[in-house]
Structure 1
Amino acid sequence: MLKIVISALCVALVAYYYRGFVEKELSNRLISVLEGLERVEKDHPVDRRPKVAIGYGACNDLFIDGKQLLKYDDSAGTPEHFNFISSIDELLKTYAYFFRHGAAAERYISDDKLFDAIVDKAARVEGSHYALGGNAPVMAKRFVTEGCDVLLAAKMTPELQRTLPKDLKVVGGVTKKDDIHLILEYKAGEQWGIHRAPRANRFIVHNDDNNPLISSLEEFDKLLINFNPNLFVVSGLQMMDNYPFAEGIREQRLKRIQEQMKVQSFKTRIHFEMASFAEAQMLQHLIDYIIPYADSLGMNEQELTNLHNMMEYGNISIVSDSNPRVAAVLDQMRKTFQLVSQNRIGMEGSRQLTRLHVHTLAYQAIMTVKESPWKNSRAAAAKASLTANRHVCGSKE
């Protein structure tokens, strides 16, 4: 009996020290990778001041631990997907649907009073906090940090604008109340009722008034012509997804954005940043009105699958693999690149897609056309990886 106990103890000690050895080895490898990325970054400094125009919209993000706000109940035990949310039950079911897949998603809450009540409750939860939100202003702020001359199209309150760098020029007018996005975060392996998250991610809900209408568009247009940007970034269009527009209004606004893209000099690179879309018609509008007029596309693995499925099969993908293999993503990128290139044929003023950037939590994948204006993809991938790390960790290191 004593021999068995001693043997078990020896096995436990060996396992403990082996685990420590493996963790140290992985840590050393990670440090080596980070140092390598930093060397690439230092070898490719931004030695001029590029001009970047970026639209559209802005908001106040309210961050909160999802389980602190949403208490699990029986309705969450039967996850279900809704294109938009109109009740607490639908919120719980939709949150559960994406939580169990570890998939990012963004949904519109159609009931103003319901949304306000949820936000009010979230703001009073210990640990919740507000921060500048919206793809456009967050990217604009980063561009300024990297030494760019930036013009941002966004309608916001003076209070929110004061959170931006002073040398970032904002056009689009002033609003009395900023749109709020409620960001429900969860960790990898987190348990919520009967559901376990396979990876860390976030679920976003909103009830925007300004952003879906692209209310900064006209003011932006007045300055964009003379600004003559090196890069024009189009983003924030996911706010139009499932918004209750009057008939034809959404298409009109998208066509105005298209015109804004078409009048740019071909020396100006145009990048369209995708986001979470649940409405098939909206995604088809993007394929028809926006994507053919961009040189570059950016998206995560969920959005890549969504775009690919819409162009290949005519339907959207609600969730995709939360930990996609590199080979699978590259195959999907190649096919999507081909589909986008074919789709633009015959469209007046369209641009050849020359760059596709897919960013996941685990890696960056950038595909470019040979001899295209997009240079230093290796440095771009390194910079993207480091920037994502710095943004999430709030560090400059």
Structure 2
Amino acid sequence: MWHKAFLAALLALSIGYYYQMHPEFPELAKQYVYSLIQPFSAHISSLQVNSHTASSELTISLAWEALITSPLKQWSKIAVGVNACVDVVVTGVGLLQALALEPGKGKDHEILRSKEDLKEAFLYHMSKGAAAERFYSDEEMFQRIARAASEYPGAQVYVGGNAALIGQKLARHPQVTVLLCGPVGPKLHELLDEQILVPPESLQETDEYHLILEYKSGEKWGSSQAPNANRFIFSHDVSNGEMNVLETFVASLEEFKPELVVLSGLHMMEGQGREVWEHRLHEAVAAISSIPNKVPIHLELASMTDKDYMNNIVKQQVLPRVNSIGLNEQELLFVSQAGSGPHSELHSWNGFPDIGKVSDILFWIIKEYGHGEENSEASLTRIHFHTLAYHILVTTDGFWSNQVSAVSAGARVAGTQACGTERIDIGRVFLKIPFEFQVSASGTGHKVTLNPSNPVTVWQRENTSFFLTPVLVCKNPLRTVGLGDAISAEGLLYSEMIKK
């Protein structure tokens, strides 16, 4: 069998070199060659293909195919709630120009109260290439902007809301039955996968609309330029903002009997004001607490700006009651800032999130708020962190298995979904992660060198395991919204919780 492995490795080297010299190599031919190589991917991995000679992207893609295996016990029934809407996706700069707005200086706003606030917040986050989501307080003005967006040339309508997007991704796997509970209007119901079960109690007469302003890598408006592709989201969404269907969601679990619960939408309450969110968050915690302990809960976080609200979620209310969380670099840093954690003095990442600093914050979260000797009542034992260039899965030892597969599957779907392809297209992706990095910025971490033929780097801190893999970043992404939800969904599908 060694000669087959050698030939496969030689073919991988040749094709990798040819991809680099001939990027116009037809997609059909690429996929044909890929299908020839795939059965030998494990052997290519074992030969440690030299990353400087072969295409690192090809080597990583093949190695993932060998590493990604389904867990021994797969989830078959997953309940997802509670935010759902219709997304209207448009080019951000084009829409703002259509609204007769002129470029200027960027400035962040916790709540948008005018078109000027919208423009400034968009420019602020566009210049950083960072995803963000904000509440637009003026309902009448929001409806005018929404009409302009829906009529804008090239505007597209999609399933929206973290819960609905996660449900859509999970429902594409035939072994999974998905229950989705959220404010589902007629347009959203029409867009949802036919395999998704929607409780009648969560159907409503009108849809909630979210506007997704996308921008491309290098796109300019005035003096602002995007370092990478991303999006800015805003809405005037009362149903999701008040989490109106949370109790309906929890009540439906008794009959559905899920093996896993995925919860999202807490960020939507932030825009309702302190008096509303304090009261509603207390009710939300009571509802979550009624879910049987034997059913694991994954919480998907999203963009927030109110430190008091984040502190209530993290310290006192929700985080200790869930088993797993998913978040990106903006949310990770905000958790640390709200709780005075490691590197909380940073105002933003200013580009590439440093792996050592990210690792320090992740370790602090799971030690501070996760299950352990001092927090035996807490349930948190897993964090799935995703950013443009890499993903890290962090688990408390003894609670989760198959996490090498899980982090690889999450990274793989980031590359395929962003480019709109079924498989990784080597000619359309690139590596952004550094080949050498520190696993901690505290001075105690060692340096690691990325090995493309074994692309999941694993290290240990006390009783906590870290699993890192690079992302094959799409050069010209077709759509960025929902990418984090797809990543978390795929990671969960390949994860197995160890029963205690």
Q: TM-score range by the shorter chain?
A: 0.7 to 0.9
In the alignment, what sits opposite 2:204?
175
Q: 1:61 aligns with which of 73, 87, 91?
A: 87
Post-superposition shift, 1:195? 0.9
- Which aligned pairs between 1:1-397 and structure 2 lie closer than 5 A? 21=21, 28-41=55-68, 43-44=69-70, 48-71=74-97, 76-146=103-173, 147-171=175-199, 172-244=201-273, 247=275, 249-287=276-314, 288-312=316-340, 319-341=348-370, 350-372=377-399, 374-397=400-423
Please give the secondary structure, in 1, of the residue aligned with 2:389: coil
In 1, Cα distance between equivalents of 2:91 and 2:177: 35
In 1, Cα distance between equivalents of 2:407 and 2:265: 23
Please give the secondary structure, in 2, of the residue aligned with 1:297: strand
Please give the secondary structure, in 1, of the residue aligned with 2:203: coil
Q: Does the Cα contact within 8 Å between 1:269 and 1:295 map onto a contact in 2?
A: yes
- Taking structure 1 as reference, are residues 169 and 54 closer, same or farther at Cα in structure 2, changes over 3 Å only? same
State percent identity of aligned pairs. Answer: 29
Please give the secondary structure, in 2, of the residue aligned with 1:156: coil
- Taking structure 1 as reference, are residues 361 and 27 closer, same or farther at Cα in structure 2, changes over 3 Å only? farther
In 2, Cα distance between equivalents of 1:129 and 1:329: 35
Please give the secondary structure, in 1, of the residue aligned with 2:356: helix
Q: Does the Cα contact within 8 Å between 1:298 and 1:356 map onto a contact in 2?
A: yes
Please give the secondary structure, in 1, of the residue aligned with 2:80: strand
Amino acid at match of 2:383: L
Amino acid at match of 1:311: G
Please give the secondary structure, in 2, of the residue aligned with 1:116: helix
CA-to-aligned-CA distance 1:301-338 (integer Å, 9 cap, x gap): 11100111111269897643332132221122112222
RMSD over aligned CA atoms reads: 3.0
In 1, Cα distance between equivalents of 2:187 and 2:280: 27
In 2, Cα distance between equivalents of 1:364 and 1:242: 29
Q: Does the Cα contact within 8 Å between 1:55 and 1:233 map onto a contact in 2?
A: yes
In 2, Cα distance between equivalents of 1:318 and 1:54: 33
In 1, Cα distance between equivalents of 2:165 and 2:55: 32
CA-to-aligned-CA distance 1:112-156 (integer Å, 9 cap, x gap): 121111111112221111100000011011111123122111121
Amino acid at match of 1:179: E
In 1, Cα distance between equivalents of 2:95 and 2:396: 46
- Taking structure 1 as reference, are residues 318 and 126 closer, same or farther at Cα in structure 2, changes over 3 Å only? farther
Please give the secondary structure, in 2, of the residue aligned with 1:312: coil
Please give the secondary structure, in 1, of the residue aligned with 2:183: coil
Post-superposition shift, 1:214? 1.1
Q: How many residues align?
A: 375
Please give the secondary structure, in 2, of the residue aligned with 1:232: strand
In 1, Cα distance between equivalents of 2:75 and 2:320: 28
Post-superposition shift, 1:21? 4.7
TM-score (norm 2): 0.69
- Taking structure 1 as reference, are residues 316 and 157 closer, same or farther at Cα in structure 2, changes over 3 Å only? farther
Post-superposition shift, 1:35? 2.1
- Taking structure 1 as reference, are residues 327 and 346 closer, same or farther at Cα in structure 2, changes over 3 Å only? closer
- Taking structure 1 as reference, are residues 340 and 84 closer, same or farther at Cα in structure 2, changes over 3 Å only? same
Greater Cα shift, 164-173 or 53-62 = 164-173
Greater Cα shift, 291-300 or 338-347 = 338-347
Please give the secondary structure, in 1, of the residue aligned with 2:271: coil
Q: Does the Cα contact within 8 Å between 2:372 and 2:378 map onto a contact in 1?
A: no
TM-score (norm 1): 0.86
Amino acid at match of 2:387: T
Post-superposition shift, 1:75? 6.7
Greater Cα shift, 217-226 or 308-317 = 308-317
Amino acid at match of 2:169: R
Amino acid at match of 2:62: E
- Taking structure 1 as reference, are residues 342 and 164 closer, same or farther at Cα in structure 2, changes over 3 Å only? closer
Gaps of 5+ in 2: 1-16, 26-51, 424-500
- Taking structure 1 as reference, are residues 219 and 118 closer, same or farther at Cα in structure 2, changes over 3 Å only? same
In the alignment, what sits opposite 2:476?
none
Q: Does the Cα contact within 8 Å between 1:86 and 1:110 map onto a contact in 2?
A: yes
In 2, Cα distance between equivalents of 1:27 and 1:238: 44
In the alignment, what sits opposite 1:4?
none
Amino acid at match of 1:271: H
Greater Cα shift, 133-142 or 163-172 = 163-172
In 1, Cα distance between equivalents of 2:103 and 2:80: 39
Amino acid at match of 1:60: V
In 2, Cα distance between equivalents of 1:26 and 1:132: 43
Please give the secondary structure, in 2, of the residue aligned with 1:241: helix
Gaps of 5+ in 1: 1-16
- Taking structure 1 as reference, are residues 100 and 280 closer, same or farther at Cα in structure 2, changes over 3 Å only? same
Please give the secondary structure, in 1, of the residue aligned with 2:128: coil
Q: Does the Cα contact within 8 Å between 1:184 and 1:203 map onto a contact in 2?
A: yes
In the alignment, what sits opposite 2:10?
none
CA-to-aligned-CA distance 1:215-272 (integer Å, 9 cap, x gap): 2122222221233322111101111112247x3x423332232223223333211111
CA-to-aligned-CA distance 1:164-206 (integer Å, 9 cap, x gap): 2223111242222211111111112211110111121111111
In 2, Cα distance between equivalents of 1:102 and 1:69: 18
